[in-house]
Structure 1
Amino acid sequence: MSDVVTVSPQETRVEPVKASSPSWFIARINAVSRIIGALLLCIPMFISLDVVSASTALGIEFVLLWIGGVAPWTVCRKTWPVWIAAAGSFISVFLYGRTSGEILWQGGWIVISEGSVNLAIATAIRVAAIAVPGVILALGLDPTDLADGLVEILHFSPRFVYGGLAGLRMFTLLQEDWRALGLSQRSRGLGDGNAIARALSQAFGLLVLSIRRATKLATAMEARGFGSSAPRSQARISRLKPVDWIFYVICLAVPLASIGVAVGTGNWHFAFQGV
């Protein structure tokens, strides 16, 4: 006698609401829309390199995030690596950027000019304007929701997407495996020798363990039909909603408005043109 497994219709399944973002607005959009929105925000900013467009875009982004439920101080706290990168870009361009205008200071290979100062400020602000919204959009992004969106909306290969998702989830086990290998070596009296040799031996053991687990995972996925060319049904529905299209319009309007302000004030500079 065989058991009968009852499967509910796809449209009647209700997924529990997950807190996927510190912003109430971003939490409502599809996971794929976050990736598309980040590209719409960033790509136009790559062609612009001036203080006006970068600062305008950054200011608009802070205001929109504040309206979306993320306060400016929260944005700064959650994106602190971006500000470190922006400071690093400022220092490098400030000291070694293209020389133009009046030379303010010179010493050896370092030449500080008016042009390098302006370029350094524009570069730092542009780094922040491009990276800050990307980091905020990535906060709380669920890999499973992203995989469903890539398959159902962008029509990526299910085998590739869900294989990558399974491998990504395996990364969480590496830390536990590393700790278990270390404890097993110490239990056999092998943990008190050279630290470098112990780490190399432990890393090799972790590599072997990961390959074995990946082989079992690949076999299990093949057994579930991931290697077949037949169309697959989806356990969860991932669709674009009107709020996603509103989000696309906002993401495209921010860089276009900032570039428009720079052009209108006569301060716009093409990023791939000499200063």
Structure 2
Amino acid sequence: MIQSVNPTIKAIAVLIPGILLSFAFDMITPLIFLIYILVLTLFFTHIPLKKWLLFFVPLSLFAIGLAWMTMLYTDESYNTGPVVFQFLWFEITSGSFQVGISLALRSLCFISLSLLFALTTDPTKFMLSLMQQAKLSPKLTYGILAGYRFLPTFKTELNLIRQAHQIRGVQRTKGLRQKWQNNKQYIIPLLASSIRKAERVAIAMESKGFTGERNRTFYHQLTVSKKDWIFLISMFVALCFAFFISDQLGFLRLIGQD
């Protein structure tokens, strides 16, 4: 399953094909690659379908809206061909229609790739993999990991501050402007609490002998196995296959081509 793939290899397998796909300006190439990503997500992950749709559907609506605006305001060099349909005073030509659909499909590919990585990757293992495989500085990775671990505590701290204000009889007013003014009262206490926690973590790490050196041992040792390379190669093969099929069908169009 994709959950067991090394996080660094998975990040490369998601990032580079996504960048290369952005150069395709036709509809067939992103469509084929999108189908491949959806097959991976549905059959080779343990992501609950309901959870995946909860993220995918709102983001896909954004992609559709972006494609619609592209159709209405396409550059003149692409706004060619016969008129497909007319909306108010806008005439949607076949050229602008293809550009809009291509943009929507590419956006859906980016969304699917992002969800594939985010929903199948443990943040702690990702940070450890960046240190072990990508040789990223431990100071940076442990700092990011500590900050990520602190995020859930901010909500608890905020609730405590609000309850303290209510006990002390601080007046709460309605309205967006007044709420913004009241929220300013939370900034200093939250900042002070964050500084205290950061100092405690720094003292604890220093007491345990953390120096930030790259040559260190790890309790959880992550490795790159054969299945990781298979996953990476399969992503590039699928993208090359999409480009090849699109070219054979005569639809392939790269950015900058006339």
TM-score by length of 1: 0.81
The number of equivalent residue pairs is 249
1:114 matched to 2:91: no
Measure how far apart 1:253 and its partner are: 1.1
Deviates more, 1:197-206 or 1:243-252: 197-206
1:251 to 229, 235, 238: 235
What residue ranges of structure 1 are gaps of 5+ in the alignment? Answer: 1-24
1:233 is matched with which residue?
Answer: 217
Q: Distance in 2 between matches of 1:131 and 1:83?
A: 8
The corresponding residue for 1:151 is: 131
> Structure 1 pair 50/166, CA: closer, same or farther in 2 (3 Å)?
same
By how many angstroms is 1:163 displaced?
Answer: 1.5
Written as runs of structure 1 = structure 2, the 5 A alignment for 1:259-274 is 259-273=243-257
Whether contact under 8 Å (2:137, 2:212) holds in the other structure is no
My pick for the range that moved more, 193-202 or 177-186, is 193-202
Cα distance in structure 1, aligned partners of 2:212 and 2:10? 30
Cα distance, 1:42 vs. partner?
Answer: 1.0
What corresponds to 2:44 in structure 1? 68
2:14 and 2:113 in contact (8 A); partners too: yes
Matched, 1:192 2:172: yes
Within the alignment, does 1:49 sit opposite 2:25 as a pair? yes
Describe the shift of the 1:225–1:69 C-alpha distance in structure 2 as closer, same or farther (beyond 3 A).
Answer: closer
- Identity of matched residues, %: 23
Alignment RMSD (CA, Å): 2.4
- The yes-or-no answer on 1:33 pairing with 2:9 is yes
SS of 1:210's partner is helix
> Mean alpha-carbon deviation: is it higher for 154-163 or for 73-82?
73-82
Q: CA deviation at 1:224?
A: 3.2
Q: Distance in 2 between matches of 1:93 and 1:127?
A: 13
Counterparts in 2 of 1:73 and 1:143: CA distance versus 1, 3 Å: closer
Query: 1:268, CA displacement in angstroms?
Result: 0.5
- Residues of 2 paired with 1:71 and 1:140: CA distance? 7
Q: 1 CA distance for matches of 2:184 and 2:125?
A: 37
Matched, 1:58 2:37: no
Q: What letter corresponds to residue 93 of structure 2 in structure 1?
A: S
TM-score w.r.t. the length of structure 2 is 0.86
